[in-house]
Amino acid sequence: MRSGGCRYGTHRVIEPKGALPQNAQKVDNTLPIYDNEILIDVDTLNIDSASFRQMKEANNGNIEGLKKMILSIVGERGKQQNPVTGSGGMLLGTVKEIGSNYNNRFDLKVGDKVASLVSLSLTPLKIEEIIEVFDGRDQVKIKGHAVFFDTGVLAKIPADIPETLALAALDVAGAPAQTKRLVKPNQNVVIIGAGGKSGSICCAVAREMLGKTGKLIAIQPSENGRKRIERLGYCDEVLGVNAQDPIACQRAVSEVTNGEMADVVINCAPVQDTEMSSIMSAKDNGTVYLFTMATSFTKAALGAEGIGSDALIIVGNGYAPGHADYTMELMRTKPELRKLFEEVYV
């Protein structure tokens, strides 16, 4: 076991020197661990949806090509950080070793099943073998290990929630926690990409916060996604417009809100160029939460300026205090949402 590690993981950064692990081009994924780290035997990677989609499209849907791309990225960078999207994902694994000076604030012990709540884009990762790719749920079963620093966030898998369900839900745990903070009764709320994993769970929370007040509006271009939303029964309106067409989105939202537009817009779409649809669906002084990693703050900020919008733009942060427990409680208390996750993402 090595000593002298930085709690933020800078000791693992190979290049450029002085960078934090997330924005580093390459990190050290070798063993043994440092005494302030924890070692995880990795079972499953849950790749960020924007990243998985990009890699799949780059390989024309060929799964073998996607496997080679993942191995190449991890081999070159020491972590799973898509060089195009910049995003990673999360993992499921088992605690193998705990450093003697590790700040064990999650009360972990060797043998515990855990899910990571920090991005793979900053997590030192070594893949020995890719066993299987689960297309449709963005998951990859592997044999390998990962290293977490003192500041890394891990969650024990609850005994009453199946591992794969917990992994799927915890992957987007930041979204429902932030939605709970942002949505208030009597508001018009728009969820872009509502038919996906983060979108559907945000719809559940938004409906809970609105109760019988306000209006909850889903934007989802695919028919299958719209069917999933309608089956959940959370939304007052389900709009089949393309979120890459801001004028179409603005008109559609204006029509169902009688020109009022949205107080809060939450963007969960896994595709690029949806920033302006989010901003133009909101009131001039509304709030736009860009949860998806496919969005660009530059496009959003300059685009808002270009149309004279004073909307508050919030960049998605996957962490919020208590977000893991809150997300697991949603799986326990909303059977219709849990059923959807079990059917589609497990």
- The CATH number assigned to the domain holding 194 equals 3.40.50.720
Q: Specify if 286 maps to a domain.
A: yes
Quick one: average pLDDT of 192-203?
96
Residues 62 and 26 in one domain: yes
Quick one: average pLDDT of 207-216?
98
Residue 294: predicted pLDDT:
87
Question: Do 155 and 92 contact (CB within 8 A), yes or no?
Answer: no
User: Position of tokens 């044999």?
Assistant: 143
Residues 181 and 124 in one domain: no
Residues 144 and 193 in one domain: no
Residues 234 and 207 in one domain: yes
Residues 134 and 264 in one domain: no
Quick one: average pLDDT of 190-217?
97
What residue type is assigned to position 68 of the chain?
Answer: K
First to last CA, the chain: 37
Where does the pLDDT of residue 334 fall: very low under 50, low under 70, confident under 90, or very high at 90 and above?
very high
Q: How far is CA 157 from CA 162, 177, 328, 343, in A?
A: 8, 18, 9, 20
Pairing of strands 282-290, 312-315: parallel
Residues 124 and 25 in one domain: yes
Question: Do 4 and 11 contact (CB within 8 A), yes or no?
Answer: yes
Pairing of strands 188-192, 113-116: unpaired
Residues 153 and 208 in one domain: no
Quick one: average pLDDT of 245-268?
98
Q: Specify if 1 maps to a domain.
A: no
- pLDDT above 70 coverage of the chain, percent: 100
Does residue 308 carry a pLDDT above 80?
yes
The DSSP bridge partners found for residue 15 are: 26
Dist CA 310 CA 301 (whole Å): 10
221 Cβ contact list (under 8 Å, min separation 6): 240, 241, 242, 243
Residues 209 and 329 in one domain: yes
Q: Specify if 340 maps to a domain.
A: yes
Does residue 129 carry a pLDDT above 90?
yes
Quote the number of domains for the chain: 2
Does residue 137 carry a pLDDT above 90?
no
The CA radius of gyration of the chain, in Å to the nearest whole number, is 20
Q: How far is CA 327 from CA 87, 207, 270, 300, 331, in A?
A: 21, 15, 20, 28, 7
Residue 50: predicted pLDDT:
86
Residues 180 and 278 in one domain: yes
Q: Which domain holds residue 75?
A: 10-157
Helix (H) or strand (E) holding 344: helix 335-344
Residue 293: predicted pLDDT:
85
Dist CA 96 CA 146 (whole Å): 10
Residues 94 and 62 in one domain: yes
pLDDT digits (tens, 9 = 90+) for 113-125: 999 999 999 999 9
Residues 66 and 140 in one domain: yes
Dist CA 100 CA 149 (whole Å): 13
Q: Specify if 139 maps to a domain.
A: yes
329 Cβ contact list (under 8 Å, min separation 6): none
Does residue 254 carry a pLDDT above 80?
yes
Indicate the length of the chain as a whole number: 346
pTM: 0.85
- pLDDT above 90 coverage of the chain, percent: 90
As given in the structure block, the two tokens for residue 244 are 């890459």
As given in the structure block, the two tokens for residue 266 are 């939450």
Q: Specify if 44 maps to a domain.
A: yes
Q: Which range is least confidently modeled, 167-176, 247-256, 324-333?
A: 167-176
Residues 88 and 126 in one domain: yes
Q: Specify if 2 maps to a domain.
A: no
